[in-house]
Chain A
Amino acid sequence: MRIECPFCGERDVSEFTYLGDADFRRPPADAEGRAERFYEAVYLRDNPAGPHREWWYHASGCLSWLQVIRNTRTHEILAVELATERPRS
């Protein structure tokens, strides 16, 4: 598996560290029904078999956080973007 880093080009997966599902959304601390919403954010995952939006960190490279869309059935990398270029939500 190789990830095309926007700075460093196509690099082996061993240079990267995986954080997981990028659809994690931390609810506001004072949100209505926050116990339930924090439970969903911390513990529940869609875990799709197919395209998956996820965080990778280029630890042995440019130290960038990347948001990658990868097919979990085939390990094919479908898209890579710098995390800093994604709107925060």
Chain B
Amino acid sequence: MRYSIFSLLRQALVGHRGWEPAWRDAEPKPAYDVILVGGGGHGLSTAHYLAKVHGITDVAVLEKGWIGLGNVGRNTTIIRSNYLLAGNNPFYELSMKLWEGLEQDLNFNAMVSQRGVLNLYHSDSQRDAYARRGNAMRMHGVDAELLDAGAVRSMLPFLDFENARFPIQGGLLQRRGGTARHDAVAWGYARAASERGVDIVQNCEVTGFISEGERIVGVRTSRGDIRARKIGMAVAGNTSNVARMAGLRLPIESHVLQAFVSEAVKPLVPCVVTYGAGHFYVSQSDKGGLVFGGNIDGYNSYAQRGNLPTVEDVCESGMALMPAIGRVRIVRSWGGIMDMSMDGSPIIDRTPIDGLYLNGGWCYGGFKATPASGYCFAHLLARDEAHEVARAFRLDRFAAGRLLDEKGQGPQPNLH
């Protein structure tokens, strides 16, 4: 069913009794062309682009729980393409362009809101670093503006500009960045993929791989064996565990990242703001809640919940940036499990095992990448070659020394 003003009017006349489920909750078939392990944002978007761009519709998305309950529903909904490195920037810009057309493509309201992403700077050297980043973005055709303190003050008068230790000197603004409704992204991709014939199979946990000789030809699941020509893993957070079943050891550690939402307040924060002197990012949802987060907790974790020192640290950064929020109450906090790769950048590549493909290592940048990740993973699965904007995301780059380290931190995953 196509959603439009006419379908809404038609349903209004019949008491909204004719709406159908947005996607088919499918039973698994014994075999498919392509199996995607993981029904999160990346698996579902891969299925959509496999069907839409490459005409491959004999596809199953296997999800161990319910779709959208993992990281696609656990992030702070920010979308942006303000990357420095040539290996990263065109990929995230493709994602940004796909976000811009996403709702028309999916016929689903993902509430994409290009309200701007503003990274604040607090010192001369940080301004220089942001000027360099902004220049790199513009050379890749991405919008970027370097603002001085006066321009930031006119946008966000409530910030603490005169902070004694970290005065706000200005910011790097990407106006095309913003936010999107994270759940709707999962639902929209699921609906669009399902409509083209993709099977979305829930409560179907992959418990092993089926090999024949050197090749992987299927998966063992909690709902029986399923065979496929090609199998793609899109299980970020759990990538090491799934890959281990195929005998792979990866340059990834799993870490917990917490996020928070406050009670609803009147419109205050008009864009996404990031604090440059600590790690704190905040936007305001359409319901009025301040949605914010900071650093990962910093130790290996699969717990989907974090500890209080990080909560305190994030809130201290928030208070240093905007003291006005001091009496706003936090109503919810949660944790998501991040694939922290060894250089802070993702992996979209074949594995050394024939038939098995890897999409993972998203660190805490996976949500904004959802459309391009699916687009490029679908390209890889369909054609057995990397999409041109994802060529740097190779699995062998660690051994070859071609790291994509935006922050220059080295192989210490909890620092990316």
Contact = CB atoms under 8 A, between A and B. Distances in A.
Interface of A: 1, 12-14, 18, 20-21, 35-36, 39-40, 42-49, 52, 54, 70, 72-75
Given A13-B309, A39-B398, A72-B300, A20 B414 contact: yes
B253 A47 contact: yes
B203 interface: no
Find the residue from A20, A46, A47, A49 having the highest chain B CB count within 10 A. A47
Interface in B225-252: 238, 240-241, 244, 249-252
A66 to B, nearest CB: 13
B253 A21 contact: yes
Given A44-B249, A45-B253, A52-B300, A14 B309 contact: yes
Contact of A46 (B249, B299, B411): B249
A43 B309 contact: no
Contacts of A44: 249-251
Contacts of A75: 301, 303, 307
Contacts of A13: 307, 309
Nearest to A1: B307
**B interface secondary structure, majority:** mixed
B403 to A, nearest CB: 9
Contact of A45 (B238, B251, B309, B312): B251
A43 B299 contact: no
Contacts of A21: 253, 300
Contacts of B399: 35-36, 39, 43
5 contacts: A14-B308, A20-B253, A45-B250, A49-B241, A72-B303
Determine which residue in B249, B254, B302, B309 has the highest number of CB atoms from chain A within 10 A of its CB, and name it. B302
Contacts, number: 70
Contact of A72 (B252, B254, B398): B254
Nearest to A45: B253
Contacts of B308: 14
Contacts of A46: 240, 244, 249
Nearest to A2: B307
A13, A35, A36: most-surrounded residue (chain B CB, <10 A): A13
B380 interface: no
A20 B303 contact: no
Most buried by B among A12, A44, A70: A44
B309 A47 contact: no
A54 B300 contact: yes
A7 to B, nearest CB: 21
Given A12-B309, A43-B342, A72 B249 contact: no
B276 interface: no
A47 B302 CA distance: 10
